[in-house]
Chain A
Amino acid sequence: MANQKVDDIDRSFYDFRYEENEDFYRMRSGLTEEIVREISEAKHDPKWMLDFRLKSLEIYNRLEIPNWGAPIDGLNMDNISTYVRNKADMKRSWDEVPDDIKNTFERLGIPQAERESLAGVGAQYDSELVYHNLQQEVADQGVVYTDLESALTGEFEQMCKDYFMKLVPPTDHKFAALHGAVWSGGSFVYVPKGVKVEVPLQSYFRLNARGAGQFEHTLIIVDEGADLHFIEGCSAPKYDESNLHAGCVELYVKRGARLRYSTIENWSKNMYNLNTKRALVEEDAVMEWVSGSFGSHVSYLYPTTILRGRNSHCEFTGVTFAGAGQNLDTGARMIHMGKNTSSFINTKSICKSGGISTYRSSVEIKKTARGAKAAVSCGSLMLDSQSRSDTIPAVVVETNEADVGHEATIGRISDDAVFYLMSRGVSEEEARAMIVSGFASDVSKELPLEYAAEMNNLIKLEMENG
């Protein structure tokens, strides 16, 4: 029992796919100024956005590829199409969405989730949104939830100008610059002052095309005293060539507001997931991240929170599962600037069948953050001896009036515990899945019921024999 190897999973549920047909427009592969101009034109960008894209491209060409994390040599931009869209426009009714696309989202349970438990849904297929809808009563509260493209040219244009890629500038790193040059799709959310959105909004990103990139941009502004739970879901079918996801998420949490941002990323194992997420949190505001990273070949993902306002607070809860052929470099970054700010990072990483899971975090307490409190707790579970788990936590404290704590644990599944559960009639596979799900329960407990079920299902899939 101790040495039994658990094989790679059957992900066929997420791997169904439709081949692109004549209903799709696909940009030729590679990255040139002409391509960026064509994307901009196809998207009817305002002039300032075209300029922004071109400037980002310039920065992209200047910056070096990061050399400190998981290797990304397998990624060649010359083989990536940065823009693929269905020719149909975005719809506000599922009935009007083209059949192949609608079937895909139905299999993923999105329309059903919308009916049962969401205040609004956005669904992106490849580079563009195919569906976006917000419940009338939420719209009546003044909440704006739309595709970013509509926001750019509508009454929120100025707001977009003020906030778009201000928190994550194209100069931040090479893939932020790439994102600035070719971004497409994503959501714009504005919650007015004092408005509490009772049920979550969700955007779902599906990258169907082979050899393509997805570069959606999520821009959320939760105004003073407002409250929002936003859920992001992602998946893709598997191809034998590389795909790229370089999304960007910018979150602005104003004074006294609260934002919870939950993600289940379930990319296929040919995906380079080089994603950037950042939140700016003002006085007395609260930011909560709940993050589950499952798929992808390589991930670089470190949601960053800037606690600018005094008494602002952030909690990051994350789980990462690296299986065969996966190298997932994930973690979080907290930057304390305001007085009496507090943060808590709680992560769990699991690796199996040769998967590599690296936890990387940085907690920075600036001089101005007197009275700050930060705690980091990270646990790793290795399911076999071929897998690898690393923990790289950094702490930089510039004031002596701060309280920073860190604890890390690393372990394996105990054979005694497996035997114990099996002695109650539970199969070995199920016993292991129970232990792993339990280990990851800090995250599943934070998710709405149906997402927790999805997460446990993903864990089970990962644990099952192939």
Chain B
Amino acid sequence: MSEPLLQVKNLSAAIEEGEILHHIDLTVSAGETHVLMGPNGAGKSTLGHTLMGNPVYKVTDGRILFDGEDITDLSPDKRARLGLFMTFQNPLEVPGLSVEAFLRNAIRQKTGKPIRIFTFKKQLAATMALLQMDESYAERDLNVGFSGGEKKKAEILQLLMLSPRLAILDETDSGLDVDAVRTVSMGVQEYMKREGGALLIITHSTRILESLKVDKTHVLVKGKIVAEGDGSLVDEINEKGFEKYIEMRGIE
């Protein structure tokens, strides 16, 4: 067991309409792969966005620590610079900003120093090849006109190029065909192999997990973690669904 990288302590969060995360505790250490499962509307993405610092969600209680530092009040860019990353379920389109220009700029801002264009281009081309992305995508406007699968690959491309210490993958496998899931999953494995990073995988299916070794599973229902276990919990849920956990929350 290594030092905890992410510590979520008694975290509650709300939007204008009311509280949607209740007293979440979660600890992820470097090198670990965690899975956050739960039925639709359980608050999985909300947790991801709250950890990343989306201002839509206000923390009403508890703290988030990253590498021992309290990041609860930090802006998203500062969290990213410390090494936190999240792939988006619906990546935003930015017309006129090319994938390549964006990545270069983001790496420069994240590290605080310019990168050599030649080194960058080589790394970008190699990473795109790994993800079976056509090299023309480097010149394309970020996510504009990308298919669902292309958007998800572009997210993994950013993951590999930005090499964070902890990556939250928000429904990275949803809406993808079998081949695309395989490619994305390979990209994620590559990240773990290369960076020795950590993963918090948000999913309501299990396809992306087939080729990953899961250390811990958390089940979120109605904004609360109701069960935790090792990788075998994934298989159990796969078989029996969330029924049991929904009922548990129902009688509380």
Q: Interface of A with B (CB < 8 Å)?
A: 1-2, 414-417, 419-428, 430-431, 434-435, 437-442
Contact = CB atoms under 8 A, between A and B. Distances in A.
17 contacts: A416-B92, A417-B94, A419-B52, A420-B94, A422-B76, A422-B80, A423-B79, A424-B106, A425-B110, A426-B106, A426-B109, A427-B77, A434-B102, A438-B96, A439-B95, A440-B96, A441-B95
A437 B54 CA distance: 23
B247 to A, nearest CB: 34
B92 A434 contact: no
Given A414-B92, A435-B94, 20 more contacts: A416-B92, A417-B92, A417-B93, A420-B88, A421-B92, A421-B102, A422-B53, A422-B75, A423-B53, A423-B76, A423-B77, A424-B162, A425-B106, A425-B110, A426-B106, A427-B77, A437-B97, A438-B141, A439-B96, A441-B96
Nearest to B76: A422
Those 8 A-B pairs whose CB atoms lie nearest each other, nearest first? A438-B96, A441-B96, A425-B110, A425-B80, A438-B97, A422-B76, A420-B92, A417-B92
A57 to B, nearest CB: 46
Contacts of A441: 95-97
A463 to B, nearest CB: 14
A440 B86 CA distance: 28
B158 interface: yes
B108 to A, nearest CB: 9
B55 A1 contact: yes
Contacts of A2: 55
Contacts of B102: 421, 424, 434
A430 B80 CA distance: 14
Interface string B68-81: 00000001110111
B86 to A, nearest CB: 6
B46 to A, nearest CB: 13
Contacts of A440: 96
B76 to A, nearest CB: 4
Contacts of B56: 415, 419
Q: Which one of B52, B55, B93 has the highest number of Cβ atoms from chain A below 10 Å of its Cβ? A: B55
A1 B80 CA distance: 17
Interface residues of B, number: 29
Contact of B75 (A415, A428, A437, A442): A428
A426 B96 contact: no
Contacts of A428: 75, 77
B194 to A, nearest CB: 18
Interface string B93-128: 111110000100110011000000000000000000
B85 interface: yes
Given A435-B97, A440-B96, A423 B109 contact: no
A410 B81 CA distance: 33
B31 interface: no
Please classify the interface of chain A as helix (H, G, I), strand (E, B), loop, or mixed, using the class held by over half of its residues: helix
Contacts of A426: 77, 80, 105-106, 109
A423 B97 contact: no
Nearest to A441: B96
A430 B54 CA distance: 17
B55 A415 contact: yes
B62 interface: no
A430 B109 contact: yes
Nearest to A417: B92
A421 B105 CA distance: 11
A252 to B, nearest CB: 34
B52 A423 contact: yes
Interface in B34-67: 52-56
A376 to B, nearest CB: 18
B94 A425 contact: no
A417 to B, nearest CB: 4
Nearest to B87: A423
A415 B56 CA distance: 9
Contacts of B95: 438-439, 441
B55 A419 contact: yes
B128 to A, nearest CB: 17
A439 B109 CA distance: 21
Nearest to A435: B94
A271 to B, nearest CB: 28
Contacts of B92: 414, 416-417, 420-421
B91 interface: yes
Nearest to B90: A416
A60 B1 CA distance: 85
Nearest to B93: A417
A442 B141 CA distance: 12
Q: Which one of A416, A419, A424, A426 has the highest number of Cβ atoms from chain B below 10 Å of its Cβ? A: A424
A438 B92 CA distance: 13
Contacts of A434: 94, 97, 102, 105
B91 to A, nearest CB: 7
Contacts of A425: 77, 80-81, 106, 109-110, 162
Contacts of A442: 96
A425 B162 CA distance: 9
Contacts of A437: 96-97
A434 B102 CA distance: 8
Contacts of A414: 92
B158 A424 contact: yes
A422 B77 contact: yes
Contacts of A438: 94-97, 141
A430 B105 contact: yes
A439 B93 CA distance: 11
Interface string B229-246: 000000000000000000
A420 B80 contact: no
Contacts of A435: 94, 97
A293 to B, nearest CB: 18
